[in-house]
Structure 1
Amino acid sequence: MAGLTVLVDHIATLRETMQSPRPDPAAAALLADIGGADGIGVYLREDRRYVQEKDVRLLRQSIHSRLVLYMSASPEMVGFALDVRPERVVLMPPIDEEDQGDNGMTVRTYDKNLLEVVDTLQSNGISVGITVAPAPEQIKAVHQVHANWVQIFSGRLGASKSPASQGQEWDKIVDAVKMAHRLRLHIAVGGGLDYRLIKLFSGLSEIDEFSLGRSIIAKAVLVGMERAVRDMVALIRSL
């Protein structure tokens, strides 16, 4: 049965937009814990625009579920991860790359620098995932740089404007999941998924985890964080 990591980035975005100490990502994370989340995810950008280092440190101290830190593979961020020690790091493209947020990283086979980053984190007890598009060559490359996890970006599924284009994106995700499973990678899927789209994944048992943020935070505005997380957990368990 797949787990759920709840991303609390948008709580920090709201806080910084309001220029207020609240809402607090750590408080939202604790409610997500109570609601049954298996992990809490947070994206620390290099420009610290929304999530701050103090947020990550407070999450490390306060949550009961695992901490998943989304970050670039820069030396600065690797050093921070080694200091904070999340259970998992998920590598993302730097924010100045054109494709960041669209597809994930472009991983090159046997990339020496990426191999070193993965090895450094793993040698210090931190599991490593990499976010990539649902493309065969990217799944293979994640395997070849020895990452533990692949996070398959699903954002184009929700952004599809027609049933035909959505079907094409769905087929890409299914193929990517099947390939990652054959390569014995742990598999997470995330990006643009909501309470409707998650139902499409019924029967795709190879997935180990879903990573969701925006849709849960949006529902939490109406029903509260704990309830929003419980509802998503129930949907995932029914797949």
Structure 2
Amino acid sequence: MPVLVVNVDHVATLRQARMGIEPEPVTAAYMAEMAGATGIIVHLREDRRHIQDRDVELIRKTCNTRLHLEMAATKEMQSIALSVMPEMVCLVPEKRQELTTEGGLNCIGREKELKKFLAPIHDKGIRASLFIDADPKQIEAAVATGAEFIEIHTGHYADAKEYGARQVELQKIIKGVALAKDVGLKVNLGHGLNYRNILNFKDVPGISEYSIGHAIMARAIYVGLDRAVRDMAGLIRTFAD
């Protein structure tokens, strides 16, 4: 059965807008877990625009489920991961000027580099995921890095304005999930998923986790975080494995 993993970055974004102390992403992580999240995601960006080092450390100490650390493939982030010891790291691309992650990591031609980067992480028993587009060549390259998981970038699907374009992107993802499963990878989906567009994955087998943040936090403004997480977790519990 696929599960929900909640990203609390946007709680930190709101806090950093005033450079204050609230809202507290650590509290949000605890509430999300209590409401049915199977894990918590934080993206510690190099520019520290939202999640801070202390957030990662405190959530690691208080997390009752699994902690997923999204990060760039840099020496600094590798050192932090080895210190914090999350259950999983997910390597993502970063651009300083982007509002949010705009696309998947390029693994093609970097297989040996990424495998070497992940080696000490794997040595510590931490699982690894790569945030990539639903491109067969990227999926095949991901296998060579030694990562156990990929997270398929669903942003192009979620952002498509026209029905036809959306269906094209949806089919790319569905085919990507099937290919990844065939080559031995476990598959997560994330970026731009909400309470409506996620329904198109209801009968798609082979998806392990849905990584969702923005849609949950947006809904939480109106109904509260507990209800927002419970609603999404409830939807996902009806999905096929």
Q: TM-score range by the shorter chain?
A: over 0.9
C-alpha contact (below 8 Å) 1:69/1:86 kept by paired residues? yes
The answer to whether the 8 Å contact 1:110/1:144 transfers is no
Once structures 1 and 2 are overlaid, which stretch shifts more, 21-30 or 220-229?
220-229
What is the match of residue 39 of structure 1?
39
SS in 2 for 1:57: helix
Match of 1:197 in 2: 197
Q: Secondary structure at the match of 2:58?
A: helix
The match for 1:151 is: 151
Question: How far off is 1:97 after superposition?
Answer: 8.5
Paired amino acid for 2:159: A
2:91 aligned with 1:68: no
Report the Cα distance in structure 2 between the residues aligned to 1:52 and 1:103, rounded to whole angstroms. 23
Distance 1:49 1:124 in 2: 28
Shift of 1:19: 2.2
Q: Counterpart amino acid of 1:17? A: A
Counterpart-to-counterpart distance in 1, 2:49 and 2:26? 17
Q: Distance in 1 between matches of 2:25 and 2:141?
A: 33
Q: Which residue of 2 aligns with 1:223?
A: 223
Aligned residue type for 2:60: R
> Is residue 2:112 matched to residue 1:120?
no
Q: What TM-score does the superposition give when structure 1 sets the normalisation length?
A: 0.97
SS of 1:46's partner is coil
TM-score by length of 2: 0.96
- Tell me, yes or no, if structure 1 residue 80 matches structure 2 residue 80: yes
Which residue identity lines up with residue 49 of structure 2 in the other structure?
A: R
Give the aligned residue type for 2:42.
Answer: V
Deviations 1:78-101 (A, max 9, x none): 000000000000001133498x72
The amino acid of 1:67's aligned partner reads L
Give the superposition deviation at 1:18: 2.2
Equivalent position SS for 1:208: strand
**CA-to-partner distance for each residue in 1:55-114, whole Å, 9 max, x for gaps?**
00000011211000000010110000000000000001133498x722121112463221
Query: What SS does the corresponding residue of 2:94 show, helix, strand or coil?
Result: coil
C-alpha separation in 1, matches of 2:18 and 2:221: 16
CA contact (8 A) 1:46 1:95 kept: no
Q: Which residue of 2 aligns with 1:10?
A: 10
Structure 2: tracts of 5 or more residues without a match: none
Deviation track 1:145-178 (CA, whole Å, cap 9, x = no partner) reads: 1101000000011111111000000010001000
Percent identity of paired positions between Structure 1 and Structure 2: 38
Q: Deviations over 1:7-35 (max 9, x none)?
A: 00000000000222000000000000010
The letter of the residue matching 2:116 is E
Task: Calculate the aligned-residue CA RMSD, in Å.
Answer: 1.5
Which amino acid counterpart does residue 56 of structure 1 have in structure 2? V
Report the counterpart of residue 234 of structure 1 in structure 2. Answer: 234
- What secondary structure sits across from 1:166 in the alignment? helix
* Partner residue in 1 for 2:170: 170
1:176-203 residue CA offsets vs partner (Å, 9 max, x unmatched): 0000000111110000000001111011
